Amino acid sequence: MSTSKGRAIPRQDSQRLGELQKAQAQDEFRRAVRALLMHPLMGAAHEDFPAVRRQAERLRDWFAREAAWPLHVERDGARLFKRPADLLDTTRGLAGYDRRRYVLLCLACAVLERADAQITLQLLGERLMQLAADPALESRGFAFTLRSAAERRELVCVCRTLLEYGVLQRVAGDEEHFIHDNGGAQSDALYDVQRRMLAGMLAVMRGPSTWPAEQAPVSFEDRLQTLVAEPDADGEQGRRDTIRHRLTRRLLDDPVVYSASLDAETQAYFFNQRGPLASRICDATGLTPEQRAEGLALSDENGQLTDVSMPAEGTEAHATLLVAEHLAETLRDLRKPALLTDAAVAAFLRGAVVQYGRYWRKSAREPGAEVELAEIALDKLHRLQLIARADGEIRALPAITRFAIGSAELQTTASPKATMNKSLFDL
């Protein structure tokens, strides 16, 4: 029995207190893991950053052991250097970004690296134009000016991305006015440049500026591979660790991992170790494992660990659910074609207007709107790895069968007299 200020504390209460503290620490650790997975570049202003700082040592150990992802936690922020298992996955990336916008983002970071502690939006745009005039970029057809509203809108989009990541902090002004007022005195904005957050933007093993000109990779795929290439593992245990890290990265990033997508060596490890692998990940993240013959999925009941939620609200979300159920039937009914086309899905949605159109917004009920609805739905299902798309053809993947709801059966309510003699379990 221990004492505090002369009063005895029963050992049982002391144990309960210890268990409570342990549970609170585990909840905080789990919250920090989830926050870093969604916000790998986290500023000090983030609501979960205090938890990340308190759990920093444990977080570093867990990410290094399970995924071989380095984690740096400092006073000004945290950076989890995530490296995806599949570099050519086209479903990833910033919303609304194409290759041109990514070039602008990289050029903006290059400008900020050479800038003073503060910079204006107008000055950022002018210096970005100077870098865009590089002959290497011009030879590839890239050009950027601030003369059109569309180009100013692109610059503002890049700035807002940097604001979201904490690289810039707005001091004064408004970006929206900059789009419509070309260089007006009242349309500028002033930012503080956060050096530490800027330094963490590029999550690579080797910076591209370290390549000698004669050794620089040529193709896009080679450049990606060279940026994140890791040392080759030594020995049998090293190879097993590499496979485990690769699988963990996929399970943390992807909604489902299909065993058919794995090479023979990885598949053998996956079948033998997916239970313990899923258990370790779920203990740290709060995800729920679903093991099936076709693979493994880790689902998130509250939807916090996803940038693509399903189900959701709105016309597009309803259309996506209808398409998912329709495609799921192609796996259940062998009489239906296993492959569908974009046009077939659009035709299905055109027919669905009769039954469900009253719940949709008016523009979605117009003739021809089904083509856009179909593209939105199929893109979402593709990003969730519920379908595969190639050359205008669609193939439903096994995980989509969870949306095969089937037809509802409506039952009439029995009369009070008929239910008087029935038990609760008969109702």
Cis before 311? omega within 30: yes
The per-residue pLDDT for range 77-98, each reduced to its tens digit, is: 999 999 887 777 777 788 889 9
Q: What is the pLDDT of residue 416?
A: 43
Range 366-386 average pLDDT: 91
Q: What 8-state DSSP symbol labels residue 315? A: H
Q: What is the pLDDT of residue 425?
A: 31
How many other C-beta atoms lie within 10 A of the C-beta of residue 304? 13
Domain 99-199 identical in fold to domain 315-403: yes
How many other C-beta atoms lie within 10 A of the C-beta of residue 383? 19
Token pair for 148: 């059109």
Confidence category of residue 208, pLDDT binned at 50, 70, 90: confident
Query: Is residue 417's pLDDT more than 70?
Result: no
Of 124, 142, 141, 122, whose CA–CA distance to 132 is shortest? Answer: 142
Whole-angstrom distance, CA of residue 165 vs CA of residue 158: 11
How many other C-beta atoms lie within 10 A of the C-beta of residue 122? 21
Token pair for 234: 């030594």
Q: Which residue has the higher pLDDT, 48 or 390?
A: 48
Of 233, 161, 173, 147, whose CA–CA distance to 197 is shortest? Answer: 161
In the block, tokens 């740290």 appear at 284
Token pair for 388: 């595969």
CATH class of 99-199: mainly alpha
CATH of 315-403, one of 1.10.760.10, 1.10.132.10, 1.10.10.10, 1.25.10.10: 1.10.10.10
Whole-angstrom distance, CA of residue 1 vs CA of residue 322: 63
Burial of 146 (0-12, 13-18, 19+ CB in 10 A): middle
Q: Where are the domains of the chain?
A: 17-80, 99-199, 232-299, 315-403
Q: Where are the beta strands (DSSP E) in 342-424?
A: 387-390, 393-396
Confidence category of residue 338, pLDDT binned at 50, 70, 90: low
The per-residue pLDDT for range 119-155, each reduced to its tens digit, is: 999 999 999 999 999 998 999 899 999 888 899 999 9
Range 323-339 average pLDDT: 74
Range 22-38 average pLDDT: 93
Residue pair 376/320 in contact (Cβ under 8 Å)? The answer is yes
Q: Which amino acid is at 310?
A: M
Residue 169 in 3-state DSSP? Answer: strand
